[in-house]
Amino acid sequence: MPKLYKDDLSAAIHELAEDLHRHDALGKQTMREFDASCLCKAESLTPEEIRTIRKRENVSQPVFARYLNVSKNLVSDWERGVKKPGGPSLRLLAVVRDKGLGVLA
């Protein structure tokens, strides 16, 4: 999956840093700092957006949950606004929003 950068300059700088890191010219700590400064954070999704993604894919909450490897209750909580997805779940939802469930199958 391609990395999401803040802008074209950030992408160019990050790719250069990755090359330097691969050739041991840049340490792990510095590479982590480049990751933090160049890569986009996952944008949050509203309960309505999550429901729209699932309905667009024409699947039930339990089926959607299996694709995302979470519980059906968690999907329900997201769609009702009781809980918010974070971390890997938020990234997966963004991928499904952009590419469809087929990329996870």
How far is C-alpha 38 from the geometric centre of its chain's CA atoms?
15
Establish if 2 belongs to a structural domain: no
Residues 83, 59 share a domain: yes
Nearest one of 66, 11, 63, 75 to 37, comparing CA atoms: 11
Taking the C-alpha atoms of residue 6 and residue 12, their distance in angstroms, rounded to an integer, is 11
Taking the whole predicted model, whether its pTM rises above 0.75 is answered as no
Number of domains in the chain: 2
Establish if 55 belongs to a structural domain: yes
Residues 67, 27 share a domain: no
CB 104 within 8 A of CB 60: no
Residue showing tokens 């700088």: 13
pLDDT average, residue stretch 70-95? 94
Whether pLDDT at 88 is above 80: yes
Residues 52, 34 share a domain: no
> Pick the residue with more confidence: 23 or 4?
23
pLDDT average, residue stretch 79-91? 93
Residues 82, 54 share a domain: yes
